[in-house]
Amino acid sequence: MGRFIDHTLLKPEATRAQVLALCEEALRYQVKAVCVNGAWVGLCSERLAGSTVLVAGVVGFPLGAMESAAKASETRLAVAAGAGEVDMVLALGPAKAGEWENVADDIRCVVAAAGGSSVKVILETATLEPLEIAAACLVSGDAGAAFVKTSTGFHSAGGATLEAVSLMRRAVGPALGVKASGGIRTGEAALQMLAAGASRIGTSNTAAMAKWLGGEAGKVGDLLSAQWVASGK
C-alpha cells in the first residue's frame, strides 16, 4: 500500500541521520519515493540503490520565485545525483498575473533539464482561484510535466484540500498524476485524497499512515484499482 506514498523530509534543519532514517522507513514500507531537498538526493540515491524506491528532489523550493535557468541548473544537479523525479514549484507570480506562457516556459526549462526523470509541478493551490488551478494544470501538462501537486506544505495560505485535488483531477483527466501534499497526516485523510482523485500522497507521517491503512485494506484495495491510482496517474 505504500506505492502511492512519497515519504517526505523537507525541513531545512534535517540531519544526515534523519535522512538515512527516512530511507530505512521508505524501504520498510515500500513507498513509491522519498522526497528530499537537493543536498540529500545523492545520499538517498546511494542508500536506496537496488531498491524500487525512487528519489524525488525538490526544485525552486519552497517559493518558486527564481529564474528558470536557476531551476534548470538545480534540476540537472538533482538528476545527476540520482533523482528519478523532480518536484518543482510553479512560478506563482506569473500565474497570478495570468502570464501563462511565462509559466509554461519555466516548466519547460525544468522538463528539458530533467531528461528522463519525471517532473511534478507544485501549484500551491491554496494561493490560487479555481480557474487558476485548472489553468495551471493544463499548462503543466502541455509543458511536459508528469504530475501536478497541490502544495509545498510551507506556505501560510495552507496545504492540500479535497476540493483542490478533485478540481485538479477533473482538469488533467487520466493524462497526468495528481499528488496531494501539505498537511496530510492521517491514513483517513490520505484515503479521502485518493478518493478525490489523488494518485500520490506526500507525507512525513508514513509509519502511522501505513498502520491505519492496513486496517482499511478493503477500502484501499478498491481505490488502488481506480484508474488514476493503478496507473500511477
For residue 148, the domain's CATH number is 3.20.20.70
Distances (CA, A) of 107 to 75, 88, 160, 203: 11, 8, 21, 24
E-assigned strands of 80-175?
A: 85-89, 118-122, 147-149
**CA separation for the pair 3, 10 (Å, rounded):** 20
Residue 147 is classified by DSSP as E
Cell of 144: 511536459
Nearest alpha carbon to residue 88 among 115, 119, 118: 119
Which residue numbers are catalytic?
87, 149, 179
pLDDT digits (tens, 9 = 90+) for 142-169: 999 999 999 999 999 999 999 999 999 9
130 membership: H or E segment, kind and range: helix 130-142
**CA separation for the pair 32, 52 (Å, rounded):** 7
Full domain range(s) for residue 189 = 2-230
Model pTM score:
0.94
**Average pLDDT value for the chain:** 94
Tell me what the mean pLDDT of segment 202-220 comes to.
80
Nearest alpha carbon to residue 180 among 213, 206, 149, 156: 149
Split into its structural domains, the chain has a count of 1
